[in-house]
Amino acid sequence: MRPTQALRGGGGDAPLGRHDKYLGSWGNFGGYKQKGIITYTMSPNRQNPIAGAAHDAVFNTWRRFSKQVLYVAPPFIAFYYAMSWATERNHYLNSKEGRKEFSDAE
């Protein structure tokens, strides 16, 4: 006996396996039942979802910062000093004294 359209999910495009057998709906593709899986649940009113969140946030942030600071800080400091030098040099070269000093170079 063939499965009905309702068992196939209402459409003609339901998955069929070998020998035109119905495989099952999504998440239940006709495999063996799993054994040995134990799940535990707790009532939502017994849970405290933000327990220790502030404490963990502070120490986790410090741990992550201390591990990455040596990768980020030296290039940032070098770029800052290079940019500072370039800005000061540009201001000097566009001032009266800078133009006077390098006027014969052009």
pLDDT per residue as tens digits for the range 37-71: 788 888 878 888 888 899 999 999 999 999 999 99
Torsion of CA 89, 92, 93, 99, to 10 degrees: -160
Q: What tokens does 53 get?
A: 């969140």
Average pLDDT over residues 84-102: 94
Domain boundaries defined on the chain: 73-106
**Phi, psi dihedral angles at 39 (to 5 degrees):** -120, 145
Q: What tokens does 61 get?
A: 């942030």
pTM score, two decimals? 0.46
CA distance 89 to 94: 9
* pLDDT reported for residue 10: 45
Q: How many residues does the chain have?
A: 106
**Residue type present at position 3:** P
